[in-house]
Structure 1
């Protein structure tokens, strides 16, 4: 089976004044459809740069990136934007919700760019919000929601275009432990429904929910191993559910 993400010798170099900073130094990475992968590494390891490239938010300096069989390495910004809107859903640590928009309006926003009519946008946004447990919060604004509820809205917004891939950048970084576990349960469900989930985190307990852990250091892959002790929120025997 062809990989949904297939990266060969990907590099990214930034120019800081007269200094070249090599953020990625020849990354090779393949991710299959419906995999659940965690990207880990210390500050400066290149994990955020890699996430930006995976999400078509930036272009590499060199190397090749095949997304669902299509080479996106050197695409122009307009084409990258179209690919992002069709294939990738993003979840960020800081939620990135519009404060003056309702929950429903925030989730429906990507569908505006997709060209759906208003009625269809509202119906699909309401459906996805119901799926993440916020069917009774459609008219609330972000400041009327808890941190966990705001992250659920952000997840619903990532899902509303029915993307194949969900990229989550430190999605539990601003949440307490109990709420973090609830959010990881939603990601479990997303992956179980067929999505590919890629999670950036510096927290080992959060990475342990993934089925595979890729560790970066100094812009290179340090290790890429299956997770033999996957934590599942739905598993009544794991430590989070123990008294």
Structure 2
């Protein structure tokens, strides 16, 4: 009897947690982020020893902040920045046991990038401004340029950490490079030319290091032998040379 009661209580608890997660996701998909956060926070707070809900809660905060524009509906600029800080703080705590978690590091880097963008453009960060920045055209910077520069430095360091921690850049190259280019355009608009140039160089290095471009994968070729094209010049094969190096007996 006691075992049956325990099993039923366990099943009830699992069902309640699953139902809470479904409700949170449903609210988020409908754009009701505050309701989603309330459900995630409740799930996270019911069992403080479990970290299961840290990642979805932090991701929810960051999705809201990354999607926020002044003409996009729910929330203010201050709420978007607060969501960035909240999401980053949860992820940073969650990373203490697994500092090599590249997915979470990338989320933190994107959050730092977005904070720099929001500091730069403020209430002028609209859907049109976001589309223009994706194309490499930044609008007028309305924020404090020192704060923009500081946020840009933090974002650059976070992106560097992702690149250093990732076992392979093949799957992250395009996203990393795009983040670097958005950040570069933002800092250039804020007058920080050196930082902008450094980020452009990082984007190029990431793409070269991954062996891919944003549009196509690079096919490995033996250029020294094939010349890279049928009609091109071919490098003649070289005869191997053998040299014997000896040391005099002392």
TM over 0.5: no
TM-score when normalising by structure 1? 0.27
Of Structure 1 and Structure 2, the greater strand share is in 1
Tell me: higher relative CO, structure 1 or 2? Use CA pairs within 8 A at least 6 residues apart.
1
User: Which protein has the larger Cα radius of gyration, Structure 1 or Structure 2?
Assistant: 2
